[in-house]
Chains A and B, each alone.
Chain A
Amino acid sequence: MEEEHEHVSGMAPIVGLSFAVTGFGLLEFSQGNYAMAFLLVGIFLAVVVGSVVKEIKKRSETVEAHEDEEVPIQFKKDPIFGFMGKKLWIWIFLISEVIFFTLIIGLSFSLRLVVDEGLGYREIAKFCGLPTDSNLFGLYPAGWVDQEGRAPHEVLDIPLTTLNTFVLITSSYTMVKAHEAAEKGDFLGKWGARNYLLMTAGIGATFLSIQVFEYVSLIINENFTVQSGLFGATFYLQTGFHGMHVLGGIIMILFMVYKIQSGAMKDSSDVEITGLYWHFIDVVWIMLFTLVYLV
């Protein structure tokens, strides 16, 4: 039975080892050679995109579903996870992501709670008998401010980000419509999954462009950078990680479009998986928008 399958993959070790290229890219980044860094990360992304496209092409040529796409019968009978179907992996991955973003937002906000006197944390801490004097040496202006003493709403462009929030929510809506269409089996029609996915990717790209514009104007006009105290550092950490996830989501959506186009899409579960990831990014943005921009 073992001889029937050739247990060898040519692409997998290349993808695995190409993470070394990303590593060298990060290393160049840390040394200030940004052009080289982006080139190396670009090579890595090209390898990943190439291998996924190759894989989708391979699957479009085979009629039967691929072996690891099938959900075994035993799994469907599982008392706890049996109802989940193929999308279980994305839910497992989302466990990791929930922790990741809870921590990024939570750690940043906890730093803010100590520094920012207006939020009423000190009263609670005093009541609970917890220490409150984090700003030990007082070298920095008190409060949640940048190096020039400006509070978030004085630095950040709230109307623009509100617009951006609407953009992302809308993309979530088109994504869910794509899933609805895919479940009906409508992939290529005018209001089919492919067009809705393309719309989602486009709106997602709009979101990213607005974010890049925001970054550029913050850095150039407002002199607000990573070095602008804890406020600046945590701002770029949170929104940057979120933006990278949006980028990943867009790439994932484009893979799905290609998969539909090439005829490798056998059912709606892949659209659903992409959608779950995309909506999760939306959830993260809702929390980010509130805690970073509005409060």
Chain B
Amino acid sequence: MATERKTTSYWFLDYKKFFGTIDHKQIGMLYMMFSFVNIVFAGLLALIMRAELYNPGKDFVESRDWAGYFTVHGTVMIFFVVMAMGAGLGNYLVPKMIGARDLYWPRWNNIAFWMLVPASYFVWSSMAPIGWTAYPPNAIVLGGDKVDRWLIGLILAGTSSVIGAINFLLTVIYLRRPGLTWKKLDLFTWSIVFMAFIQLAATPVITIGLVMEFLARSLGATYFSTNAGSSPLFWQHVFWSYSHPAVYIMILPAMGLTSLIISRFSQTEVFGKVSMILSMAAITLLGFIVWGHHNFTASPNSPPGWFFTLTTFLIAIPSGIKTFNWLLTMYKGKIVVDVPFLFAISFVLGFVLGGVTGVMVNTIPLDLVFHDTYFVVGHFHFIIIGGALSAVSGAIYFIYSDMTGRMYNRKLAYAHYIFWVIGYILTFGSMNVLGALGMPRRYYDYSVLSILPNYDMIVLFNRIATIGAFMQGIAFTIFVFNFIYSAFKGELADEKPYNIAIPRLWMTDEEWEQLENMEVMH
């Protein structure tokens, strides 16, 4: 078995396969590689920014480059790292989980991936100084083609994600094995269904917004101009009505993976599976009516703040249900501690820390203070880095032996885990403190804050955050090294890489046949 895998594991060295593959596992791996390349460079941008912030005052980054750095860091991390990773794991896992041979449209799958590559080129080459939110009038009055490149990149990425979403939905609906009813469907596939629905429903929103900005820039249309009776706040509504659902595009697959990993390593069923599915459905639908909480301070004529506060608090309920279900799964089960399990725990930790701070910024009186400070930055990095990326790393470790036929180095994986968790808690925890101390986000030189009474604390916590960021950098370097090195030189994996009852995520052929026979009997 292992030798047979070995022969197929270096497929990507053949350029014909590398470009033209329509096999879901290989495209899934392409997505993962793409995501790794992007995370390395976007992570380097983050490290450069953190290094610059180690001391107040200018160190080595030119001030005119600063805004470009954080724009591209944010955009790339969201669209080409976390979303690409979701698509990649979905590609790799969904057909296996539902017992299908491939996705429903293998070639569209390839097209969607190769569309993402030019998209990332346009975003990387833009270095637009607009922030990933691209608020007008700044984004519209800036000359040159920087912002246009950014807009084009995101339009392409959006088109790609709609194609991917339709493909996933068709696959789950069309290609399930007989006997696999919606109720028996596993939680990761469910999470991909909801993710695909959000992509399908929310991407048109951002496409319209991006086209409006594009036309405003190139033809002088007045969609966001106060002179014409509109307002720049109009963009904020359009943008956030996409970008809040987009957050759930990133977090839902991570939730599904965490459920699976925790249940496998606790050697028991997920506690309250139906409530897990319903929670995801609630998060999906509620996610479309909470975007106003990004604009509490933006507009004197703010839309009913109480409405958005209420809906956002409501979203905390399904999130809490999920968290307690994970805890109860572990409580009921017989836990085996191994690398993927630790990363799943790290997801729960990041998710809870980010969630609690999220509820804090959702409270209008607190938001009036915390808005546009590092508190918000700490909040969403906890969710995305501490949460989503942890779960994704755990899942990659879990399926590593299946992907490459080899086993990763466990010691390096534990080192990755320790640096990773300590690193992100230090960085984003300090960011929360910094926000509470009054440090605004996106500042290049914070020596202006020396008028504040807690200035020395601000400097201290900036330094802690930088140290944490470099620990994450070390962690990720270990991860990438382990990933690549073990793919070529690791020891061959055996059938049971983990000492647990079901050492894989999907069903075996015998189990499928059992399921089909059960179906026939009914």
Interface residues of A (CB under 8 A from B): 7-13, 15-17, 19-20, 22-23, 26-27, 29-32, 68, 71-75, 77-81, 88-89, 92-93, 95-97, 99-100, 103-104, 107, 111, 114-115, 130-131, 133-137, 139-140, 142, 225-227, 229-230, 232-234, 236-237, 241
Contacts and interface: CB of A to CB of B under 8 A. Distances in A.
A19 B174 CA distance: 28
Contact of B21 (A8, A133, A233): A8
Given A68-B104, A229-B228, A230-B229, A75 B175 contact: yes
A15 B204 contact: no
Contacts of B296: none
Mostly helix, strand, loop or mixed at chain B's interface? helix
Contacts of B114: 12-13, 15-17, 19
A19 B118 contact: yes
A12 B107 contact: yes
A79 to B, nearest CB: 8
Pick the most buried of A11, A13, A80, A135: most chain B CB atoms within 10 A of its CB: A13
B121 A139 contact: no
A24 to B, nearest CB: 8
Contact of A136 (B121, B148, B203, B226): B226
Nearest to B175: A72
Given A12-B22, A107-B208, A72 B174 contact: yes
B173 A31 contact: no
B322 interface: no
Pick the most buried of A77, A79, A134, A233: most chain B CB atoms within 10 A of its CB: A233
Contacts of B19: 13
Nearest to B170: A89
Interface in B15-46: 16-17, 19-23, 26
B118 A114 contact: no
B109 to A, nearest CB: 8
B73 interface: no
Contact of A93 (B22, B166, B174, B207): B166
Contacts of A111: 229-230, 234
Interface residues of B, number: 73
B506 interface: no
A293 B381 CA distance: 47
B111 interface: yes
Contact of B222 (A12, A20, A95, A233): A233
A49 to B, nearest CB: 15
B177 to A, nearest CB: 7
Given A100-B207, A137-B226, A92 B200 contact: yes
Contacts of B205: 99, 103
A135 to B, nearest CB: 5
Pick the most buried of A27, A31, A114, A232: most chain B CB atoms within 10 A of its CB: A27
A27 B175 contact: no
Interface stretch (B211-219, B255-263, B361-369, B472-480): B211-219
B241 to A, nearest CB: 8
A287 to B, nearest CB: 16
A71 B170 CA distance: 11
A32 B193 CA distance: 41
19 contacts: A7-B17, A8-B22, A9-B106, A12-B22, A17-B118, A19-B114, A19-B115, A19-B118, A30-B214, A72-B175, A75-B176, A79-B182, A99-B204, A100-B204, A134-B230, A136-B231, A142-B229, A227-B219, A230-B229
B484 to A, nearest CB: 23
B149 A27 contact: yes
Contacts of A103: 204-205, 208
B497 interface: no
